[in-house]
Structure 1
Amino acid sequence: MFSGRNFAAFLFDMDGTVLNSIAAAERVWTEWANRHGLDVASFLPTIHGRRARETIAALKLPGVDPIAEADALLKAEAADLEGIVPIPGAVAFLSSLPPERWAIVTSAPRELALLRIEAAGIPVPAMMVSAEDVTRGKPAPDCFLLAAERLGVEARDCLVFEDAPAGIAAGEASGASVMVISATHVHPVVTQHASIATYDGIGVVIDERGWIVIEPERMAAAAC
């Protein structure tokens, strides 16, 4: 699980990776799907990890403007923050990282991302890439490439933390290593990547270059 590996930076997806907003998001999207006559059960799994405008555009609903609908959904999601919580161990793990060595890379608009970060009580990143910052959303690698560039590192030297297929594909395409967070997965995810359910069992040290080294035993030992 990358034990002893050195990384220039960590790039975290937000929803399902450092915080759990599934209940809030699915409440809003369920209402939207019902208004448009969609089968909610089959539709909801498609909303995670992608920008709202791209999720809506993919449906090709007659007379529906994806940008206008995404803006309306943003307002509804911003008004519903109930039940948003951090992924176990995420607050301590993020707090242990040098601020200049990590970023949140989310498909959510910046306004919504900041509201959810505050609601979950996780550290506000010094640098964040959000939906407005790229032309192509996940699974395109643009967001992770941009985050690495803004941090002054190469994407191939980064570790991407993701939970959703679109985000995992984006991390792979960027050339970064990928860690899958399974905390919110209802069913086991088959993946070639290392996977953890929570952040409780891992810690980090910083090497002489300022790079991050994962130490899986560090936090577990401290808890004993």
Structure 2
Amino acid sequence: MDGTILTSIASAERVWTAWALRHGLDVATFIPTIHGVQSVETIRRLGLPGVDPVAEAAEITRLEMDDVDDIAPIPGAAAFLASLPLDRWAVVTSAPRGLALRRLAAAGLPTPPLLIAAEDAARGKPAPDCFLLAADRLGVAIDECLVFEDAPAGIAAAEAAGADVMVLTATHRHPVETVHPRIAGYELMALDPADSDRLGFLPVAA
């Protein structure tokens, strides 16, 4: 979701920067580690003495839900999602369900027919659990799924699950090294009119 169909980077980084400063962390080093993983895991792996990761993550979520003014869709995402059959796509996010729904609404994107959120999988990304669960609930084999991802943890989770991967670069500040195909947005993505089971790229006028 974040960085894949919408951008909430400014919101998330404002909240996490304030949190990092309160805990004496180097912001420049810390902020790149927050993307694509559950907040509780981000805090837990720091091993800060006297810090309850669950309580801190809950407070982070509350603050993020209050800070949605500049959340926006990735270019072409709304039209692309609207073109997909409702039983063929899902959002799989490391965000808690409440925050995910809040950000989707702020970006003007539809509530997905299936939402796998942080609460739903035993292990978060980069573990494959969330994508395997989504495929199971869609009733589709994971090796027939295409995962759109932007963050290393999400890409690793999709790879571990056995899905195909398309990397979204709309929010990347630096070139990303990947073996997977890349797109900056969805303006040229569409279902193949000759085969509704396949995605393809719309032709570009000369």
TM normalised by structure 1 equals 0.89
- From 193, 196, 200, give the equivalent of 2:180: 193
Structure 1 partner of 2:164:
177
Aligned ranges 1:144-159 → 2 under 5 Å: 144-159=131-146
In angstroms, what is the RMSD of aligned CA positions?
A: 1.3
- From 22, 34, 47, give the equivalent of 2:9: 22
Any idea what SS the aligned residue of 1:134 has? Answer: coil
Query: Does residue 74 of structure 2 align to residue 87 of structure 1?
Result: yes
Deviation at 1:206, TM superposition (A): 6.5
Work out the CA distance in 2 between the residues paired with 1:213 and 1:111.
32
Which amino acid is the alignment partner of residue 32 of structure 2?
P
Deviation at 1:148, TM superposition (A): 0.3
Work out the CA distance in 1 between the residues paired with 2:189 and 2:143.
22
Structure 2 partner of 1:42:
29
Work out the CA distance in 1 between the residues paired with 2:149 and 2:193.
22
Work out the CA distance in 2 between the residues paired with 1:191 and 1:109.
28
Work out the CA distance in 2 between the residues paired with 1:207 and 1:125.
25
Give me the identity figure in percent: 61
1:201 touches 1:216 (CA, 8 Å); kept in 2?
yes
Task: Tell me how many residue pairs correspond in the alignment.
Answer: 206
Query: Does residue 38 of structure 2 align to residue 54 of structure 1?
Result: no
1:206 touches 1:212 (CA, 8 Å); kept in 2?
no
Work out the CA distance in 2 between the residues paired with 1:54 and 1:217.
39
Deviation at 1:205, TM superposition (A): 3.1
Give deviations 1:103-129, integer Å, cap 9, x for gaps.
000000000000000000112111010
Aligned ranges 1:208-223 → 2 under 5 Å: 212-218=197-203, 220=204
Aligned structure 1 segments of 4 or more residues deviating by more than 6 angstroms: none
Deviation at 1:212, TM superposition (A): 2.7
Any idea what SS the aligned residue of 2:90 has? Answer: strand
Work out the CA distance in 1 between the residues paired with 2:120 and 2:199.
29
5+ residue gaps, structure 2: none
Any idea what SS the aligned residue of 2:170 has? Answer: coil
Higher RCO, 1 vs 2 (CA within 8 Å, ≥6 residues apart): 1
1:117 touches 1:123 (CA, 8 Å); kept in 2?
yes
Structure 2 partner of 1:32:
19
Any idea what SS the aligned residue of 1:133 has? Answer: coil
Work out the CA distance in 1 between the residues paired with 2:139 and 2:200.
24
